[in-house]
């Protein structure tokens, strides 16, 4: 595609070079020929014109000479007559001579001979009768006078009989008394002469006298009409003595034709001989010459075009061959040979081209060989790599299988260990029904603690395995940081005391906050650190400090666990965080343990993006420092006992183990939900089909029907309201999570079931819409605490306490009001403390908290603040009591019925 585009882009239009050459050569030839012809024609035109004018002038001069000769001949004849000596002849002889002269010269119409005095002696005429010796006095005639003055007289042209041009010619004879001979000459005889003058084929000559009158014209009749030509500019100019233009004059003749005109003057007569040649004839040779030149130009141009065609072809064909060759070589046809036989540089270029193509062909052949060789090498290398890869893959899959086997083993073991532990722990929790004595309760607590330690031990192993497999995931939720630390301390304190160690907890006020994180894992880290400290401290004590630093978007928990134990050598500072490492084997023997505690703590810390470090000297104790970033809690978590459920839910508990069923049922009851028990998957499906459940707690490991399978089948029932399924399992590896997600199970609760974990899992329903009334009640009263109290104390006792609180709180509000009014800060603090204690007994958490705050702040309060605090407490007491009334009244009504 690209190649095509490229080729298309590069392709030269066919024949472009050919046309370029052709046009160039033709243009050159044409320009040369045209310029040559143009100049030739132009000069030829000018020369011919000059030549023509010269010829015409010659003709005019010749005609003028002929006319001059004609008159001159007559003049000579008359002179001959005039010079005859008088003695020679009588009058009669004169007449005979004159008759002879008339016969000789037809143009003479009449001859008269006068004596020196001007008397007519003889008159001989062609028309009238001759007169001899008439003695008529003609001395006054202009002819006689003119002849006497200048021997020869040329009279003006006159017209006889209106049409015939005549002229009087007079000659004076020689001697003392010379005769004068006067002749009337008929100028029509000049016409023959004029008609005989050839001017080209159609040209004409004509004669004009000194007055501008036409006296001779080949067409005869214009002269007969005595045409006056003085109106013609050229005649006028000629009469005025202006010479003819050298190149001739172009004008219109008598018949309106355009003619080339020139003239000559007849000597002595002063007549003008005009010679006119029609332009059509005059320029005919010029036009013929131009025509010939044009024809020659066209012919030469045609030849030039043919030659150009031939030349252009000769020049472009090899170039086109080269172009085609280059294109074919470009498209890969290297076997091509160009056959250019011009015998010049183009042939050399073609040869070079062929050599280049041959070289390319050879190079390609070599290159192809190399490519084949290299390809086979690459194939070998690839096969080898593939084989290695397969081996590695096999090894990896074996390792993965081994790991999975280990994971399965651990899961099975933990399940097997946890089931009895679960039972023990559940029972221990249930044992505390409020009827135990103090000692029993403490034993029970110890047993519970031991159980939890045992669980922790199992969990440590399991957890390590998970951490090892990187399958451990944090389960983040909101929790109270101070409670967690205090609970941990409370849990560990007895162990410390048992060993005769002191246990100091120094919690900074900054830890009194709710955070978002994984409390289980954090608890485990702290337990490990404290447990470790207790374990390796033979005497002295343990101190625990905790502080929370509020940073931009999170809380940095800073915990130190300091002991006065055996200490750790510097070279062991890092190694103790490695797996299964204790300071030394003897220590292991002396102190026992798995050696996993610190490793787990370090790994969990890192999982939480925290830092766990140690400072220690042998014999001088150790200080473990934990820095963990925690998120901020979305909302504060109520202090104290279990919060009430947002609403009572129908919960189906599915477990094949009867102990777990019993514990689970009790916990669900405790959480305020309505439990239903199914002992296997099949019965669970039956129950779900018949009844509407909000939540199903599904044990995954069941003999008949796997929990995941059961969940899938329930999902396929197409129930109008699908219950939320929460898995209960000890196996919370990521592979297990994926399996569960496939069956529509999003939530997991680990075994053994811890009340809080279960409560959160059940409560954490995104679809659940919180009830405003319950929230309001919950805000003022810890309903779960109240329920617990009712359960523990009995409804009657609670009612009694309610009544007592009613009375006491009103009295205390009065006291507080009085104290505030009097400004008795101590009394105010004391009364607030008493009110808080009373309110706390029935779970009035809001009132209890506010009382504690006022109790603490009372000393420093201003009277106005005391008064407002008192008012506030009074209002809060009223609201809390009303809420308590509402909560207890329906119960009372139910009890009554």
Interface residues toward another protein, by CB under 8 A: 92, 95-96, 99-100, 102-103, 106, 125-130, 159-164, 186, 188-189, 220-221, 224-226
* CA dihedral sign of residues 254, 255, 257, 259: negative
Strand order across the 120-125 sheet: 131-132, 120-125, 108-114, 180-186, 164-172, 152-160
Q: Is 132 helix (H, G, I), strand (E, B) or coil?
A: strand
Q: Which of 664, 633, 814 is nearest to 749 (CA)?
A: 664
CB of 214 to another protein, least distance (A): 12
Q: Which helix (H) or strand (E) holds 375?
A: helix 345-431
CA distance 431 to 853: 36
CB of 182 to another protein, least distance (A): 18
Q: What is the DSSP string of 779-793?
A: HHS-HHHHHHHHHHH
CB of 103 to another protein, least distance (A): 7
CB of 44 to another protein, least distance (A): 35
CA distance 773 to 783: 12
Q: Which is nearer to another protein, 132 or 505 (CB)?
A: 132
Q: Which is nearer to another protein, 190 or 678 (CB)?
A: 190
CB of 194 to another protein, least distance (A): 14
CB of 92 to another protein, least distance (A): 8
Q: Which of 79, 74, 224, 86 is nearest to 162 (CA)?
A: 224
Strands 724-729 and 747-750: parallel
Structure tokens at 339: 């056959």
CB of 253 to another protein, least distance (A): 16
CB of 255 to another protein, least distance (A): 11
CA distance 329 to 340: 16
Q: Which is nearer to another protein, 100 or 674 (CB)?
A: 100
Q: Under a CB-based contact definition with an 8 Å cutoff, are residues 147 and 180 in contact?
A: yes
For 873, other C-beta atoms within 10 Å of its C-beta total 27
CB of 257 to another protein, least distance (A): 15
CA distance 84 to 781: 189
Q: Which of 561, 553, 541, 550 is nearest to 605 (CA)?
A: 561
CA distance 130 to 138: 16
CB of 302 to another protein, least distance (A): 42
> Is residue 45 packed enough to be buried (19+ CB in 10 Å), middle (13-18) or exposed (0-12)?
middle
CA distance 211 to 229: 9
User: What single-letter DSSP state applies at residue 263?
Assistant: E
Q: Under a CB-based contact definition with an 8 Å cutoff, are residues 671 and 754 in contact?
A: no
Residue with tokens 């084949």: 372
CB of 309 to another protein, least distance (A): 53
Q: Under a CB-based contact definition with an 8 Å cutoff, are residues 588 and 582 in contact?
A: yes
User: What single-letter DSSP state applies at residue 435?
Assistant: -
10: CB partners within 8 A, 6+ apart: none
Q: Which of 195, 205, 196, 234 is nearest to 55 (CA)?
A: 205
CA distance 412 to 713: 25
For 852, other C-beta atoms within 10 Å of its C-beta total 17
516 strand-pairing partners: 478, 631
User: What single-letter DSSP state applies at residue 231?
Assistant: T
Structure tokens at 236: 């006028």
Q: Under a CB-based contact definition with an 8 Å cutoff, are residues 533 and 542 in contact?
A: yes
CB of 25 to another protein, least distance (A): 54
Crossing angle of helices 658-670/345-431, nearest 10°? 80
Q: Which of 107, 74, 114, 71 is nearest to 91 (CA)?
A: 114
Q: Which is nearer to another protein, 278 or 318 (CB)?
A: 278
CB of 254 to another protein, least distance (A): 12
H-state helical runs in 744-794 = 755-763, 772-780, 783-793
Q: How far is CA 619 from CA 563, 616, 784, in A?
A: 11, 9, 49
Q: Is 71 left (phi over 0), alpha (psi -120 to 50) or beta?
A: alpha
Q: Which of 888, 802, 813, 791 is nearest to 841 (CA)?
A: 802
Q: What are phi and psi of 609, to 5 degrees?
A: 65, 30
CB of 217 to another protein, least distance (A): 12
């Amino acid at each position: 595609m690209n190649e095509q585009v490229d080729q298309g882009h590069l392709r030269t239009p066919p024949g472009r070079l050919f046309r370029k050459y052709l046009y160039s050569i033709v243009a050159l030839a044409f320009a040369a020929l045209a310029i040559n012809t143009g100049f030739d024609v132009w000069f030829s035109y000018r020369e011919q014109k000059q030549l023509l004018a010269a010829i015409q002038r010659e003709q005019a001069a010749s005609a003028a000479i002929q006319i001059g000769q004609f008159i001159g001949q007559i003049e000579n004849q008359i002179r001959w007559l005039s010079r005859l000596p008088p003695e020679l002849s009588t009058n009669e002889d004169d007449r005979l001579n004159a008759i002879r002269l008339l016969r000789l010269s037809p143009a003479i119409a009449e001859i008269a001979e006068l004596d020196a005095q001007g008397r007519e002696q003889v008159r001989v005429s062609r028309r009238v009768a001759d007169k001899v010796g008439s003695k008529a006095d003609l001395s006054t005639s202009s002819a006689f006078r003119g002849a006497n003055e200048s021997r020869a007289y040329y009279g003006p042209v006159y017209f006889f009989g209106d049409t015939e041009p005549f002229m009087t010619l007079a000659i004076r004879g020689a001697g003392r008394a010379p005769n004068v001979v006067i002749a009337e000459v008929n100028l029509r005889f000049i016409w023959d002469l004029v008609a005989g003058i050839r001017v080209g084929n159609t040209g004409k000559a004509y004669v004009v006298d000194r007055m501008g009158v036409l006296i001779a014209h080949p067409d005869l009749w214009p002269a007969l009409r005595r045409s006056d030509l003085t109106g013609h500019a050229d005649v006028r100019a000629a009469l005025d003595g202006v010479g003819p233009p050298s190149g001739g004059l172009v004008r219109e003749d008598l018949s309106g034709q355009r003619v080339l005109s020139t003239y000559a003057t007849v000597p002595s007569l002063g007549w003008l001989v005009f010679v006119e040649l029609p332009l059509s004839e005059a320029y005919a040779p010029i036009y013929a010459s131009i025509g010939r030149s044009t024809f020659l130009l066209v012919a030469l141009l045609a030849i030039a075009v043919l030659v150009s065609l031939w030349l252009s072809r000769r020049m472009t064909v090899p170039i086109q061959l080269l172009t085609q060759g280059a294109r074919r070589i470009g498209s890969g046809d290297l076997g091509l040979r160009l056959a250019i036989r011009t015998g010049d540089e183009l042939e050399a270029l073609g040869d070079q081209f062929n050599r280049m193509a041959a070289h390319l062909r050879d190079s390609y052949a070599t290159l192809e060989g190399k490519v084949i060789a290299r390809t086979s090498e690459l194939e070998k290398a690839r096969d080898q790599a593939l084989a290695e890869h397969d081996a590695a893959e096999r090894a990896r899959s074996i390792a993965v299988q081994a790991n999975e086997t280990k994971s399965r083993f651990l899961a099975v073991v933990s399940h097997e260990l946890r089931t009895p532990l679960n039972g023990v722990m559940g029972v221990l929790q249930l044992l505390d029904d409020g009827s135990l004595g103090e000692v029993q309760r403490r034993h029970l607590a110890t047993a519970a603690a031991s159980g939890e330690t045992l669980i922790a031990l199992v969990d440590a192993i399991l957890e390590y395995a998970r951490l090892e497999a990187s399958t451990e995931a944090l389960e983040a939720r909101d929790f109270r940081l101070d409670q967690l630390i205090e609970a941990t301390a409370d849990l560990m304190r007895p162990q410390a005391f048992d060993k005769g160690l002191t246990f100091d907890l120094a919690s900074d006020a900054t830890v009194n906050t709710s955070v978002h994180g994984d409390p289980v894992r954090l608890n485990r880290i702290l337990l490990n650190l404290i447990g470790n400290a207790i374990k390796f401290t033979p005497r002295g004590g343990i101190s625990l400090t905790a502080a929370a630093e509020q940073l931009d978007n999170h809380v940095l928990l800073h915990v130190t666990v300091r002991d006065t134990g055996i200490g750790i050598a510097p070279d062991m500072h890092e190694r103790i965080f490695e797996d299964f490492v204790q300071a030394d084997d003897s220590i292991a023997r002396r102190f026992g343990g798995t050696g996993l505690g610190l490793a787990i703590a370090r790994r969990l810390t890192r999982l939480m993006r925290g830092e766990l470090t140690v400072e220690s000297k042998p014999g001088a104790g150790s200080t473990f420092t934990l820095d963990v970033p925690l998120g901020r809690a979305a909302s504060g978590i109520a202090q104290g006992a279990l919060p009430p459920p947002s609403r009572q839910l129908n919960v189906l508990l599915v477990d094949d183990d009867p102990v777990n069923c019993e514990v689970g049922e009790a916990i669900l009851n405790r959480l305020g939900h309505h439990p239903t028990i199914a002992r296997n998957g099949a019965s669970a499906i039956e129950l779900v089909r018949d009844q509407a459940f909000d939540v199903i707690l599904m044990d995954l490991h069941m003999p008949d029907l796997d929990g995941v399978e059961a969940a899938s089948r329930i999902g396929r029932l197409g129930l109008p309201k699908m219950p939320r399924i929460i898995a209960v399992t000890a196996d919370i590896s990521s592979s297990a999570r994926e399996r569960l997600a496939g069956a529509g199970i999003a939530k997991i609760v680990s075994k053994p079931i811890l009340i809080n974990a279960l409560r959160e899992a059940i409560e954490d329903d995104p679809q659940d819409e919180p009830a405003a009334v319950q929230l309001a009640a919950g805000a003022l009263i810890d309903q779960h605490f109240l329920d617990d109290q009712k359960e523990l104390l009995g409804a009657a006792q609670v009612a009694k306490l309610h009544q007592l609180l009613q009375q006491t709180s009103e009295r205390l509000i009065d006291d507080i009001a009085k104290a505030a009014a009097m400004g008795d800060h101590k009394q105010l603090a004391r009364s607030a403390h008493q009110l808080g204690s009373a309110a706390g007994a029935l779970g009035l958490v809001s009132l209890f908290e506010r009382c504690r705050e006022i109790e603490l702040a009372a000393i420093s309060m201003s009277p106005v603040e005391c008064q407002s605090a008192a008012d506030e407490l009074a209002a809060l007491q009223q609201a809390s009591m009303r809420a308590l009334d509402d909560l207890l009244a329906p119960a009372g009504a139910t009890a009554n019925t």
